[in-house]
């Protein structure tokens, strides 16, 4: 039987399980896997009912997304082959915890404005949790979202990042129109 073990922080176990275990049951139903959660250690074992390694892998992506702050509903998008998960560890960029917090604040923005703008412009979902920035989106959209986040981590002002994303959006629109002709 194929198995993958993921670790979920204790404070995210409730999000994974859901009310009365309904969240975990939904993930199992949609993924065709069995999930065992150790509430003490945060270890989550994922088994395939049909010995299907790919299902186990896709479900592990769902569990990772929940562990990094996404809701189970958003994380379930990862069961679709068109979607991918990117996880950026800000502690690899900055050694000082203050710097990580400052960069997390820059990515979130005042009242969540920066994160919302990045999500709108890239058509991706973004979660900032602990020292991670995670992205869920269609495979063709996640590179732009990752680049935008990394530009902010490099210290580039948000306004400039928005301009770059707007230019990418215009290029994509042009490519789509060219294909239609």
Nearest to 76 by CA among 5, 7, 18, 140: 18
Distances (CA, A) of 161 to 10, 91, 98: 35, 21, 23
Sign of CA dihedral 166, 172, 178, 180: negative
Is residue 170 located within the same domain as residue 87? yes
**Which residues constitute the domain of residue 66?**
3-79
Is residue 72 located within the same domain as residue 117? no
Is residue 46 located within the same domain as residue 130? no
Q: What pLDDT is recorded for position 1?
A: 60
Mean pLDDT of the chain: 93
Is residue 48 located within the same domain as residue 126? no
- The total number of residues shown for the chain amounts to 181
Is residue 11 located within the same domain as residue 67? yes
Q: What pLDDT is recorded for position 49?
A: 73
Is residue 95 located within the same domain as residue 32? no
Low-confidence ranges of the chain (pLDDT < 70): 1, 174-181
Q: What pLDDT is recorded for position 51?
A: 80
Number of H helices, E strands in the chain: 8, 6
Q: What pLDDT is recorded for position 88?
A: 98
**How does DSSP assign 131-154, residue by residue?**
TEEEEEEETTTHHHHHHHHHHHHT
Which pTM was predicted?
Answer: 0.91
CATH number of the domain within which 39 lies: 3.30.1370.10
Q: How many domains does the structure of the chain reveal?
A: 2
In angstroms, the CA 85 to CA 77 distance is: 10
* pLDDT, tens only, 114-138: 999 999 999 999 999 999 999 999 9
Q: What pLDDT is recorded for position 55?
A: 93
Contact predicate 44/36, CB 8 Å: yes
Is residue 73 located within the same domain as residue 89? no
Is residue 97 located within the same domain as residue 176? yes
Q: What pLDDT is recorded for position 45?
A: 96
And the tokens for 156? 């580039």
And the tokens for 53? 């390694």
| 3-class DSSP assignment, residue 23 | helix
């Amino acid at each position: 039987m194929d198995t993958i073990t993921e670790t979920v922080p204790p404070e995210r176990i409730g999000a994974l399980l859901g009310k009365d275990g309904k969240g975990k049951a939904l993930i199992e139903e949609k993924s065709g896997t069995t999930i065992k959660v150790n509430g003490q250690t945060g270890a989550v074992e994922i088994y395939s009912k049909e010995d299907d390694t790919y299902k186990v892998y896709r479900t592990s992506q769902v569990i990772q997304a929940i562990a990094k702050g996404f809701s189970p509903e958003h994380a379930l998008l990862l069961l679709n082959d068109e979607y991918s998960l990117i996880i950026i560890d800000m502690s690899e960029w900055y050694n000082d915890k203050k710097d990580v917090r400052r960069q997390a604040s820059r990515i979130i923005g005042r009242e969540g404005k920066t994160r919302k703008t990045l999500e709108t412009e890239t058509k991706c979902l973004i979660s900032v949790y602990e020292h991670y920035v995670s992205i869920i989106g269609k495979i063709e959209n996640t590179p732009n979202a990752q680049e935008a986040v990394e530009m902010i981590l490099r210290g580039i002002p948000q306004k400039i990042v928005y301009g770059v994303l707007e230019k990418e959006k215009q290029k994509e629109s042009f490519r789509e129109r060219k294909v239609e002709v």
